Amino acid sequence: MPKFDYSLHYAELDLRAHPELYRVGVGEQGVLLVQPYKSELLPHWRFATPELARQSSEAIYAMFLAYLQAGDFVGADMARKFLQMGFTRARRYANHRGGKKYDGPVPEDKKGQSGAHGRAELPRSPEDPVKAESARIFKAKWDEAEANDQYAALKKAHKAQYG
């Protein structure tokens, strides 16, 4: 699978107008870069409490469906990534008080990549049940998005056309 291209100047690009430049990548790659979707989705992304997570995941999932209805795979994939990120961030806070998972900063040559990059994982705190419930709520919507047949078809078509 082609990797997400971090060399593009996403702040200056409209990926709705240029979907050929978009690569799915792995996991949440590019979730906070790709415009105009970042600006559309980010204001709805909240996970501090289960109620906020429910409202957020429902709003983002509704946007996911709207992007699908418009035939906008990039938008749908970005919405899917925001749902995934809601799960992963809430889980991080459920496992690590304060949300800090690794010790030390990311080395300059590894920024923009996923993973620990040789850094040690900090000890887990006792699980925060509030954040764990927020994670569960986001995971259910993320799973729903991943299981959507129209999403799967658009993803396959995008990869076939653009790589």
Alpha carbons 102 and 105: distance in angstroms, whole number: 8
The gap from C-alpha 156 to its chain's centroid, in whole angstroms, comes to 19
**Residue 120, pLDDT score:** 72
**What does DSSP assign to residue 115?**
S
The per-residue b/e assignment along 149-160, b for 16 or more CB within 10 angstroms, e otherwise, is: eebeebbeebee
> What pLDDT is attached to residue 163?
80
61-115 pLDDT per residue, tens: 999 999 999 999 999 999 999 999 999 999 988 887 766 666 666 666 655 555 5
> What would the two tokens of residue 120 be?
């040690």
pTM for the structure as a whole: 0.86
